[in-house]
Amino acid sequence: MRRDWHIRDPITGLTILKATSKWVMMNKLTRKLARIPDEVRTEIEPYFFEHSAIVDEDNRKLPKLPEGQSTSVAKYVRTGLTPRWADLDINQHVNNVKYIAWILESAPISILENHELASIVLDYKRECGRDSVLQSHTSVHTDCNSESGETTLHCEHVLSLESGPTMVKARTMWRPKRTKAQETVVPSSI
């Protein structure tokens, strides 16, 4: 099942955020993906609409760093990441938002200071429990559009247990931060 979000500034009407996510159900005993029961599907169906995704899907393959060799492949690495009590949900698993924070822990400071996150694609592979110790790996890539001359900055990320298994793969795209003059928006007439 898919859910879409489109968040706009209430004054200007400008789009602040668009997001699309895919939702799955997991069997609590086997920890494997499970088919959504018909009675659940019937109950939630009125809240899901049949239409195209609000964000075009990025089908490019996410990074694969060889197990155990991640630190030699990625230029930026942060180790010793551990969940705090407040990061856990009712099942004692780390909340999905925490994974994003850990991914950004290994992003270069120069990117975080001079750019803003334009898009992110996440592929969750495993659950993370409260005793997990993780490491975050980031590789930075730039592409130059030969026609426009614009440079695109993107990062590939792998979040893994320090013992090896991959928890999350991700891709982030970054754009330069706007100056104060660029941020000035003329409000629509009321």
- Let me know: does 168 contact 100? Beta carbons within 8 Å: no
Q: Does the pLDDT of residue 172 top 70, yes or no?
A: yes
Longest dimension (CA), the chain: 59
The DSSP symbol for 164 reads S
**Tokens 């490491």 belong to which residue?**
135
Assigned superfamily of 63-178: Hotdog Thioesterase (3.10.129.10)
Using CA atoms, how far residue 30 sits from 93, 126, 131, 180, 190, in Å, is 15, 13, 20, 52, 56
pTM: 0.72
With cut-offs at 50, 70 and 90, classify the pLDDT of residue 190.
very low
Average pLDDT over residues 125-130: 88
Read off the pLDDT of residues 132-157 as tens digits, 9 standing for 90 and up: 999 999 999 988 766 777 777 999 99
Cα 36 from Cα 102, distance rounded (Å) = 30
Read off the pLDDT of residues 9-47 as tens digits, 9 standing for 90 and up: 999 999 887 777 777 777 878 878 788 888 988 888 887
Looking at the chain, the domain(s) classified CATH 3.10.129.10 span 63-178
What are the residue numbers of the active site?
Answer: 91, 93, 128
